[in-house]
Amino acid sequence: MAADVLTITTSKKEIQHLHRAFHAQKRAFEHDPNPSYEVRRDTLIRLKKALLNNQEALLDAINEDFSSRSRDETLLAEFMPAIQGINYTLKHLKSWMKPSRRQVGLLFFGSENAVHYQALGVVGVISPWNYPLNLAVGPLITALAAGNRAMIKMSEYTPRTSQVFQDLMANTFSEDLVSVIIGEADVAAEFSRLPFNHLIFTGSTAVGRMVMRAAAENLTPVTLELGGKSPAVISKNIPISDAAERIAFGKAFNAGQTCIAPDYVLCPEDKVEHFIDAFREKFRKLYPSLKDNPDYTAIINDRQLKRLNGYLKDAEEKGATLIEVNPANEDFSRGARKLPLTLILNATPEMKVLQEEIFGPLLPIVPYHSIDDAIRYINNRPRPLALYYFGYKKSEQKHLLEHTHAGGVCINDTLVHFAQDDLPFGGIGDSGMGHYHGREGFLNFSNHKAVHTKQRFHSGKIIFPPHGTLLHQLVYKLFLR
DSSP result, 403-433: H---SEEEES-SSGGGG-TTS-EE--GGGEE
pLDDT at 49: 98
pLDDT mean over 360-386: 97
Report the alpha-carbon distance of residue 328 to residue 284 in Å, rounded: 9
Gap between the Cα atoms of 456 and 381, Å rounded: 58
pTM: 0.93
Give 369's contacts (C-beta < 8 A, 6+ positions apart).
Answer: 268, 269
* Rg (alpha carbons) of the chain, rounded to whole number: 26
At residue 4, the pLDDT reads 53
Q: Are 343 and 316 in contact (CB under 8 A)?
A: no
Q: How far from chain centre, in Å, is Cα 136?
A: 10
Catalytic residue, candidates 73, 78, 259, 267: 259
One-letter amino acid at 57 equals A
- Cβ(297)–Cβ(255) below 8 Å: yes
The DSSP symbol for 87 reads H
Average pLDDT over residues 131-158: 98
Residue 200: burial class (beta carbons within 10 Å; 0-12, 13-18, 19+): buried
Cα–Cα nearest to 199, from 225, 228, 177, 173: 225
pLDDT mean across residues, the chain: 95
Cis? peptide before 424, omega within 30° of 0: no
**DSSP sequence for 86-105:** HHHHHHHHHHHHSPEEE---
Distance CA 325, CA 306 (A): 19
Lowest mean pLDDT among 15-29, 282-296, 383-397, 448-462: 448-462
Q: Is 10 helix (H, G, I), strand (E, B) or coil?
A: helix
- C-alpha 180/C-alpha 127 separation (Å) is 11
If DSSP states are collapsed to H, E and C, what string results for 382-409?
Answer: CCCCEEEEECCCHHHHHHHHHHCCCCEE
> By C-alpha distance, which of 146, 215, 136, 214 is closest to 179?
136
For the stretch 216-253, pLDDT in tens is 999 999 999 998 999 999 999 999 999 999 999 999 99
Assess whether pLDDT exceeds 80 at residue 7: no
Query: Is residue 177 packed enough to be buried (19+ CB in 10 Å), middle (13-18) or exposed (0-12)?
Result: buried
Pairing of strands 362-368, 341-345: parallel
Burial class (CB in 10 A: 0-12, 13-18, 19+), 193: middle
CB-based contacts of 291, cutoff 8 Å, min separation 6 = 328, 330, 331, 332, 335, 336, 338
Say how far apart CA 55 and CA 68 lie, in whole Å: 17
Distance CA(430)–CA(209), nearest Å, equals 9
Catalytic residue among 14, 73, 225, 245: 225
User: Residue 1: is its pLDDT beyond 50?
Assistant: no
- pLDDT classification of 6: cutoffs 50, 70, 90: very low
Q: What is the pLDDT of residue 41?
A: 98
pLDDT tens per residue, range 301-352: 999 999 999 999 999 999 999 999 999 999 988 777 999 999 999 999 999 9
Assess whether 14 carries a catalytic annotation: no
Cα separation, 267 vs 377, whole angstroms? 12
* Residue 298 C-beta-side C-alpha neighbours within 13 Å: 19
Domains of the chain: 10-226+434-448 (3.40.605.10), 231-426 (3.40.309.10)
* 201 has a pLDDT exceeding 90: yes
CB 224 within 8 A of CB 259: no
Largest CA distance in the chain: 92
CB atoms within 10 A of CB 244: 25
Other beta carbons within 10 Å of 233: 25
Cα distance between residue 193 and residue 88, in whole Å: 33
Average pLDDT over residues 113-130: 97
- Residue 460's nearest CA partner among 105, 112, 107 is 107
Q: Where are the beta strands (DSSP E) in 293-356?
A: 321-325, 341-345
Q: What is the DSSP letter of 37?
A: H
Model pLDDT for residues 390-418, shown as the tens digit of each residue: 999 999 999 999 999 999 999 999 999 99
259 is catalytic: yes
What's the rounded mean pLDDT across residues 373-401? 97
